[in-house]
Amino acid sequence: MPHKPLRLLAAIAVAAPLTLAGCSAPESKTSVTEQDATSEIAVAMNELIEQHSDAPEFTPPGPTFDASQLKGKTIAIVAIDLRVPTLADVVANAKVAAGLLGLKVTVFDAKSQATLMQQGMQQAIDNRADAIISDGLVMQVVADQIKEAKDRGIPTIDVVNSPPVPDVPGQGSDPNIFGNVSPDAALGGQLIAAAAIASTDGKAKVQVMNTSELTAAPAIVKSITETIENCDACEVVSTTDTALNDWSTQIPGLTATQIRSNPEINFILPIYDAMGIFATTGVQQAAATGKAWVASQDGSPAALALVKQGDVFVANVAKSSSWAAWAAVDQAMRGMLEMAPADPVLPVRYVDSAALEGVDTSTSKSVDEALFGPAYQDGYKELWGLS
């Protein structure tokens, strides 16, 4: 993804909880996704949703190994911007996982600046780190450093950034990346569309909200569009493309305008839930609460708080940043041991207001504990020979 728009990513992430405060209270706790589905396609989408509605089970992503032989090794984490909560969560949880193994962790914050991304990577290489975790870095910006790291025998891991593709060099990221960790972008898009189809009994009229400069955007939009097109009475009414640095200023008005210009729209489908927060405001500005709903993905606490209300933002395909961090440490150790990379696909969970009843959505930690539980941590400990 281009680096220039990412300079405002942290500001958007910080602003998201503030947007929540301006949202009106819900009239009902009943989620639109609880409506009965009778059409064949809606029933099929409900079945897909059901398959991904429980906490994911931990499946070993690769063979076991003795992690104790790596005690004292150093993992360098280079983050694009630690003001972004998801990226900060990856760092914090990677430190926890590494600490259990006696691994050292260094952290470099690039503050969304391309030159600092390159500097952080180069510093890790020059300091002879044993592995590098790229926490949201733009692959095109640091491609030379990734290659240099590989040439020097230092494995680099890409986290929650590039759509995963097993069994190819880079696992869907830069070909010189050792291992990748990220949700399945196609599945995420399919589940977002499934929410709209199931909720409208196969009569979804949707607006897709894209941000085309983001790495995973093409795969997500393609999946949403294909899923909607497979529903005979459904339609993609419009597809918009909003630059990342314009989310907070343009998405509310854009959403309201689209709804007023196309009153048949009954679902707004942004590719990430930070966009969905602003789209929710737009639905309210258009006085379309109860007529148009929002579904998206990522599982950020501010967005899940809106889903918990259940009046406009009704579904979210959530990921665990903590799980991503543990998976990244696992990949890093496999690289240090010259093993094959692990399965790069990070599990997700579909949630609506019913799933969030009683859940504390104020922090990523409380959300992770409620939606994903401790099983993946226990699984990794066993995988590494700690239990």
Tokens 């148009």 sit on residue: 292
Shortest CA distance to 112 belongs to which of 5, 244, 249?
Answer: 5
Prediction pTM value? 0.86
* Residue 361 in domain: no
* Residue 141 in domain: no
Supply angle C-alpha 103, 334, 375, rounded to 5.
75
How much is the pLDDT for 192?
98
Q: Please give the structure tokens belonging to residue 88.
A: 């900060």
Is 353:199 a contact under the CB 8 Å cutoff? no
* Residue 7 in domain: no
348-351/313-319 β-pairing? antiparallel
Is 20:277 a contact under the CB 8 Å cutoff? yes
Task: Give every strand in the sheet of 131-135, ordered side by side.
Answer: 104-109, 74-79, 131-135, 156-159, 179-183, 345-346
In whole angstroms, what is the distance from residue 42 CA to residue 197 CA?
A: 6
pLDDT averages per 10-residue partition of the chain, 387 residues:
37 38 35 61 96 96 97 97 85 97 97 94 98 94 97 97 95 98 97 98 98 89 98 97 91 98 98 95 98 96 96 97 97 98 98 97 94 96 93
Tokens 């911007």 sit on residue: 81
| Half-sphere exposure of residue 156: CA atoms within 13 angstroms, side-chain side | 32
CATH number of the domain bearing residue 208: 3.40.50.2300
Helix 9-21 and helix 247-261: axis angle, to 10°?
A: 60
DSSP helix/strand/coil, 150: helix
74-79/131-135 β-pairing? parallel
* Residue 167 in domain: no
* Residue 169 in domain: no
DSSP helix/strand/coil, 276: helix
| Half-sphere exposure of residue 124: CA atoms within 13 angstroms, side-chain side | 36
Contacts of 125 (CB under 8 A, 6+ apart): 132, 145, 148, 149, 152, 154
Residue 300 belongs to what domain range? 26-55+185-319
Q: How many domains does the chain have?
A: 1
How much is the pLDDT for 139?
93
Shortest CA distance to 197 belongs to which of 222, 232, 221, 239?
Answer: 232
How much is the pLDDT for 377?
97
